[in-house]
Amino acid sequence: MKFYTNNKLKKTKKWIITGSVLGVIALFLLTINLIPPVKVMEDNPFLVEEGELPMLCAHRGGKISNPENTLKAYKNSLRDYDIDIMETDLWLTKDNHLVLNHDSTINRTSDVEELTGSKEDYLISDHTLDELKNFNFGYNFNINGEYPYRDLVTFDQENRKEVIEENDLSIVTIEDLLGTFYEDNKDLLFIVEIKDSGERGFLAADILENILIENFPDYLNRIVIGTFHTEVENYLKTEHPSLLRGASTGAVIKYCVMNWTATNLFNYDNYVCLQLPTSQMGIDLTWDYHISEAHQKNIAVQYWTINDEATMRTLIEKGCDAIMTDDPALLKSVLDSYK
């Protein structure tokens, strides 16, 4: 009987200790979540006011409607769909120009294989800007089963470069993109991703900031820079703190985990945009709390790449700040339906 009583007392004591520990943890989490978070910046241009519709971001210029990452795509998206944000990827050429392209090669997006007669990878990093200007970046654009720009120029045409450029289908430098809109569209926003890694990624960051400061100072705080490379992200933090950054993949994971554990008060990352897919590894990332917590820190929440109406409507109703889409025509029509 005495053994039974002692055992019961031990179990009771164990439960009291466990309950006390859990209570302390709960009280701690409640307390830290009552503390107002520090804002990453006072006026974040990528945030929309509460109750406003999200911004329309043309991913690669809107590659469903126009050849991706061409001036034709960006010009048409602004004219036809009144987009708020232009999104693109940057690669460094052999002679250190920053050009717009998603892939490290131009095989998928141009007529390089037809012109050279080779299917070998034509790497941007191995060629100069002048060499890259030889190619028609509308050649492989397909709309409704047709290729409207394949007959733009012949492969042996003497003024080939000029014709391609006149039709806004030449490779685009970051100076081309920003310069096209700078004088008349100072309210435009940009999302760019530095694709090069290591030393080339560092150089790309240096060149980009110099271009902005020297030629497009009004866009300096209207362009957010992302990268998948940790070393480039760290370089941006330390060497270019004045540039606005988007959250890297690692930073996104960290943010979500700290949200789930209610410890985001201790997240001191100073990116201004949280760019998310709707899900990762089967985990839903459209949780309202992700958006509300980010907004408390003045961090904008942007989702990519959304090409269906149902998901667009879900994100609009959740109050995100921007939707990146390949189909700006569809997103515009959805947004207009709310207006």
Average confidence score pLDDT of the chain: 89
Q: Tokens for 137?
A: 């970046």
Report the range of poorest mean pLDDT among 201-210, 262-271, 298-307. Answer: 262-271
| pLDDT higher than threshold 70 for residue 331 | yes
* Predicted local confidence at residue 263, as pLDDT: 74
| pLDDT higher than threshold 70 for residue 21 | no
Domain containing 24 equals 1-35
Q: Tokens for 315?
A: 């994100």
Residues in the chain: 339
Dist CA 93 CA 204 (whole Å): 10
- Residue 136's CB is within 10 A of a number of other CB atoms, namely 28
Same domain? 289 vs 211: yes
Does 266 fall in a domain? Answer: yes
Per-residue pLDDT of 119-163, as tens digits, reads 999 999 999 999 999 999 999 999 999 999 999 999 999 999 999
Same domain? 229 vs 319: yes
* Predicted local confidence at residue 22, as pLDDT: 55
* Predicted local confidence at residue 257, as pLDDT: 77
Same domain? 29 vs 98: no
Nearest in space to 222 (alpha carbons), one of 22, 41, 12: 41
Going by pLDDT thresholds of 50, 70 and 90, the confidence category of residue 286 is confident
Report the range of poorest mean pLDDT among 55-69, 178-192, 260-274. Answer: 260-274
Domains: count for the chain: 2
Mean pLDDT value of segment 268-291: 83
Q: Tokens for 112?
A: 């390089």
pTM (predicted TM-score): 0.88
Mean pLDDT value of segment 217-227: 97
| pLDDT higher than threshold 60 for residue 289 | yes
Dist CA 123 CA 103 (whole Å): 9
Question: Phi-psi region for residue 57, left (φ > 0), alpha (ψ -120 to 50) or beta?
Answer: beta
Dist CA 290 CA 255 (whole Å): 8
- Report the CATH number that the domain containing residue 200 is assigned in CATH: 3.20.20.190
* Predicted local confidence at residue 280, as pLDDT: 77
Same domain? 2 vs 88: no
Does 166 fall in a domain? Answer: no
Dist CA 236 CA 259 (whole Å): 25
| Residue 201 · residue 163 · CB < 8 Å | no
Dist CA 85 CA 265 (whole Å): 29
Same domain? 256 vs 286: yes
* Predicted local confidence at residue 32, as pLDDT: 45
Mean pLDDT value of segment 53-72: 98
Does 145 fall in a domain? Answer: no
